[in-house]
Amino acid sequence: DSGVTQTPKHLITATGQRVTLRCSPRSGDLSVYWYQQSLDQGLQFLIQYYNGEERAKGNILERFSAQQFPDLHSELNLSSLELGDSALYFCASSALGDSNQPQHFGDGTRLSIL
């Protein structure tokens, strides 16, 4: 058990809809990362938050947004969903915001767009 909790485990929805994925980092970790894993694109870094502030941005679409709350949990919002958004979405956390820190991953949310 990594200590990183993601909910829900599975999400099935339709094109055009909006969903919110939730992540609770390990106790004491200040940084949260979001990744998308799909069969054709592999593991893609989306965005990082550190202590409530956006720290780094990767290949995140404009339809996607994220935030980190004062209790350090994070939410990833995906809107105007398309079939290609079907993927596994992982959250990871680390103690600090430095990329040299090891990251601890959650079990992921499997998003299926019908």
Partner 1 sequence: AQRVTQPEKLLSVFKGAPVELKCNYSYSGSPELFWYVQYSRQRLQLLLRHISRESIKGFTADLNKGETSFHLKKPFAQEEDSAMYYCAPAGFQKLVFGTGTRLLVSP
Smallest distance from partner 1 to CB 48, Å: 6
By C-beta, is 47 or 113 nearer to partner 1?
47
Collapse the DSSP code of 81 into the 3-class scheme (helix H, G, I; strand E, B; otherwise coil) and give the result: coil
Q: Name residue, tokens 């909006």.
A: 18
Q: Are strands 31-38 and 42-50 parallel, antiparallel or unpaired?
A: antiparallel
User: Could you tell me which of 83, 40, 77, 43 has the C-alpha nearest to residue 62?
Assistant: 77
Smallest distance from partner 1 to CB 56, Å: 4
Binding site for partner 1 (CB under 8 A): 2, 4, 33, 35, 42-43, 45, 48, 55-56, 58, 88, 90, 92, 99-100, 102-108
By C-beta, is 9 or 18 nearer to partner 1?
9
